[in-house]
Chains A and B, each alone.
Chain A
Amino acid sequence: GAVVSQHPSWVICKSGTSVKIECRSLDFQATTMFWYRQFPKQSLMLMATSNEGSKATYEQGVEKDKFLINHASLTLSTLTVTSAHPEDSSFYICSAYRDTGEQYFGPGTRLTVT
């Protein structure tokens, strides 16, 4: 299978600061990556679609100025949580779309905002 990495795997930050999460496809190129959020015992929630070289497409209800997405290359997308608050504490997971039609998930980043 294909490999997708995320960094960091966990992060603790203070309220009001920003946090950047990286998502990399290690052995294939991904023109499209996706960012999800998952709260404990809840379903995956798609936040946005990240397209290489263009602006991200955000799902309804997701603040684009708070969750900044940059897809600068065919193997890297970043999610920056700006002015983080405790309610942003969650498990953030990226996935990368492969041209075989499959999506592969990264291992996730657990964010805790204090």
Chain B
Amino acid sequence: QKEVEQNSGPLSVPEGAIASLNCTYSDRGSQSFFWYRQYSGKSPELIMSIYSNGDKEDGRFTAQLNKASQYVSLLIRDSQPSDSATYLCAVNTNYGGATNKLIFGTGTLLAVQP
């Protein structure tokens, strides 16, 4: 059973701080990794994708991938109350294959305190 695990939280950080969200996955053959943000009552929104080891930065967001440790993280710098949402880690273990299904973690609830 391919699994993606996240701490459900809530993760509470003060406004302006760095929020660090973590994710581990079980399938060592996984190729593609994604972070989605989901506000309550809304659908998920893709905020980061990462395919190779190391860091990828986009604005206030940095995704980090360590395939040897089977670990993906998302850092949010200068956290704002508007960042308060559930963050979903997703892994594609069959990139380019027949299905391209994503395996989702259960999500981490982030609460940024003003």
In the assembled complex, the Cα of A43 lies from the Cα of B41 at a distance in Å of 12
B44 touches A32 (CB 8 A): no
B107 touches which of A43, A57, A91, A107 (Cβ 8 Å): A43
Residue B34 at the chain A interface, CB threshold 8 Å = yes
Interface residue tally for chain A (C-beta within 8 Å): 19
The distance from the CB of A104 to the nearest CB of chain B, in whole angstroms, is 6
A102-114 vs B: 1/0 string, CB under 8 Å? 1111111000000
Give the one of B43, B45, B90, B102 with max A CB within 10 A.
Answer: B43
The distance from the CB of A35 to the nearest CB of chain B, in whole angstroms, is 12
The distance from the CB of B65 to the nearest CB of chain A, in whole angstroms, is 14
Residue A61 at the chain B interface, CB threshold 8 Å = no
In the assembled complex, the Cα of A97 lies from the Cα of B102 at a distance in Å of 10
B46 touches A102 (CB 8 A): yes
Number of A-B contacts (CB under 8 A): 46
B51 touches which of A34, A43, A49, A101 (Cβ 8 Å): A101
Interface on chain A toward B: helix, strand, loop, or mixed SS? Answer: strand
Residues of B within 8 A of A43 (CB): 104, 106-107
Q: Given A49-B99, A101-B49, A101-B51: A106 and B43 within 8 A (CB)?
A: yes
Residues of A within 8 A of B43 (CB): 91, 93, 105-108
Residues of A within 8 A of B34 (CB): 102-103
Q: Given A46-B101, A49-B99: A105 and B49 within 8 A (CB)?
A: no
Q: Given A34-B101, A44-B104: A101 and B95 within 8 A (CB)?
A: yes
Listed in ascending order, the chain A residues whose CB lies under 8 Å from chain B are 1, 32, 34, 43-44, 46, 49, 57, 91, 93, 97, 101-108
